[in-house]
Amino acid sequence: MKVKVSDDRCIGCGNCVALSESQLFDFNDSGLAECIVDTIPSDLEEVAKDAIEQCPTGAIEEITEE
């Protein structure tokens, strides 16, 4: 599973950073969240899904690989 954060939609609320305890998401220099791992470790996939569901602006989405 891979995810990405859309810069256009992220408002820097920090929800995903807190939820993942900075293991999956962290703030970049612009104060916006970004995914800091290439592939979500399997034991953290539920956390990533929760982050997707709970992002207030829908900024996080799963990347579907072809």
Residues near ligand SF4 (CB under 6 A) are: 5, 10-16, 25, 33, 55-57, 59-60
Residue 29 vs 66, nearer CB to ligand SF4? 29
Do the beta carbons of residue 54 and residue 63 sit within 8 Å?
no
CB of 43 to ligand SF4, least distance (A): 20
Residue 40 vs 59, nearer CB to ligand SF4? 59
Do the beta carbons of residue 15 and residue 50 sit within 8 Å?
no
Rounded CA separation 8/32 (Å): 10
Residue 53 vs 66, nearer CB to ligand SF4? 53
**Bridge partners, residue 57, by sequence:** none
